[in-house]
Structure formats: structure tokens, C-alpha cells
């Protein structure tokens, strides 16, 4: 898919799905803004990609940092066409009666408020430009309660609802809102889940997880009109028909 002249901002771009997406979008002609808290790592990735990439240190849990990142992206590249809300955490994995309330709230700040912050900061620019695409990384945890993941499940359920609300409010303004539920992906988060030893997901073998470049390819496909039938909804990469459409089968 040709993404020439498109500008894509990706949160959580220092590793996993975010890093893979940044590299793939750039390979297909896009200019990419990499956001993450790990300044050195996103600077390294942006340097490897080249002049079509910029690194912006950002904590998505703080609205003013996300707003400044959007402004910096537009200053550097002149526009913003795609926002991918990928930043997410799951630790500490713990039961409700045992987890520290501040730690529980931090997951909500990143996984849910961070998604809202991206939408809120990007929307005025996209609406003024006549449209844009906002994709949020969702999860099967958005609809299925999982032991010791109360913070993660709640945040993903909220983010899924945000995507639906975004579509309801701004589809007529040209905003394409979608969620991608990738399934289990071979990333650092899965190492953290495995180390917890809690619930069925931690028992999966590493070979059960898909590589990060699969969701990256799905994200690029979702930026095209081919995904318009799913606007306002989650697209599941566990669906074989979706995998065929993306070109993964």
C-alpha cells in the first residue's frame, strides 16, 4: 500500500507493534512520528528510518505532552493523517484485593486516558483538514474478563467504547475510527504475562504468539477504504478472513 505524503503518529513506538508499524509505514512512503517515554530508543529507531521519521518523547498519560507532540508533528511534517493509539501497559499483574490502587490507576492513565488524549489532541487538526484515521490497539480483554487483569480489561473495554463514540460523533466530519484486536503478539508484554504465571494466557507457548509485523500490516490495511466496513468497530486479527484480506494467509 502506498502511503506517500501521509503523516502517521504512533504512540508506544519504542518496541513491539508500535516499532514494527513505524518501520512499515515509513517503508511504504509515510512520514512517521514516534512517541514513547523511552527517549533513547525512539531516537535510535527514528535514526535508522531516516529523515522521514521524528522521535518525540511523550507520556500519553499527560494530556499536555500529547498535545505538544501533535503540534510538533504538524510543525515538522505539515499535517497529521493517521493516529495509532498503541501505547499500553499491563504490569503489575495482580488480583483486585492485592493490587496497589495507584498502580491500577496508572494502567488506566496509559491505556485509556492515553487513548483519549491522542484523540482529543489530534481531532481539531484532522477535522480542519477534512478528515483522518484514528486506530486504537484493542484486545480480546475488552470483552472477556481475565484473572488478575482487571486494570487491563477495564482500560481496553473503555478504549473500545471510545472508538465507537469517536465514530458516532465524527464520522460525518471524515474521521475514520477503528480498533485492532491483534490477539497475542510476541512482544515484551507477553514476556511479562508469561513471568506472572497467572491465568490461561501466561500458559501459552511462545510459538502461539503472532509476530509484531502482522498487526503492523493490518494497521496499514486499515488506513485504506478496504476497512471501511468496520468503521467504529474492532477488527480481530484472529479472524482468518481478516488475515486473508490483510495478506497474511
Cβ–Cβ under 8 Å, residues 175 and 124: no
Contacts of 25 (CB under 8 A, 6+ apart): 3, 6, 8, 10, 32, 82, 216, 219, 220
Query: 234 near 196, Cβ under 8 Å?
Result: no
The neighbouring-strand residues paired with 33 are 9, 54
The answer to whether the Cα torsion of 122, 143, 156, 44 is positive or negative is: negative
Kindly state the cell numbers that stand for 237.
486479527
Name the catalytic one among 104, 116, 152, 221: 152
**99 touches 25 (CB < 8 A):** no
Q: Kindly state the cell numbers that stand for 172.
A: 460525518
Any catalytic annotation for residue 63? no
Which positions are annotated as active-site residues? 152
Amino acid at each position: 500500500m502506498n502511503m506517500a505524503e501521509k503523516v502517521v503518529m504512533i504512540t508506544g513506538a519504542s518496541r513491539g507493534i508500535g516499532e514494527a508499524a513505524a518501520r512499515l509505514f515509513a517503508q511504504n512512503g509515510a512520514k512517521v512520528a514516534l512517541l514513547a517515554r523511552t527517549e533513547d530508543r525512539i531516537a535510535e529507531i527514528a535514526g535508522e528510518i531516516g529523515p522521514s521519521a521524528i522521535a518525540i518523547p511523550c507520556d500519553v498519560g499527560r494530556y499536555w505532552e500529547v498535545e505538544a507532540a501533535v503540534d510538533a508533528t504538524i510543525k515538522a511534517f505539515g499535517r497529521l493523517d493517521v493516529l495509532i493509539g498503541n501505547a499500553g501497559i499491563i504490569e503489575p499483574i495482580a488480583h483486585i484485593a492485592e493490587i496497589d490502587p495507584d498502580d491500577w490507576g496508572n494502567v488506566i492513565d496509559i491505556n485509556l486516558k492515553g487513548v483519549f488524549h491522542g484523540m482529543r489532541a489530534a481531532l481539531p487538526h484532522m477535522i480542519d483538514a477534512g478528515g483522518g484515521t484514528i486506530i486504537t490497539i484493542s484486545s480480546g480483554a475488552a470483552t472477556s474478563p481475565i484473572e488478575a487483569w482487571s486494570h487491563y480489561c477495564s482500560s481496553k473495554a473503555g478504549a473500545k467504547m471510545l472508538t465507537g463514540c469517536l465514530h458516532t460523533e465524527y464520522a460525518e466530519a471524515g474521521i475514520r475510527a477503528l480498533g485492532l484486536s491483534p490477539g497475542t503478539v510476541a512482544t515484551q508484554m507477553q514476556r511479562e504475562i508469561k513471568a506472572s504465571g497467572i491465568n490461561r494466557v501466561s500458559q501459552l507457548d511462545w510459538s502461539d504468539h503472532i509476530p509484531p509485523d502482522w498487526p503492523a500490516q493490518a494497521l496499514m490495511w486499515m488506513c485504506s477504504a478496504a476497512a471501511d466496513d468496520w468503521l467504529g468497530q474492532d477488527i480481530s486479527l484472529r479472524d482468518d478472513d481478516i488475515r486473508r484480506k490483510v495478506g497474511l494467509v
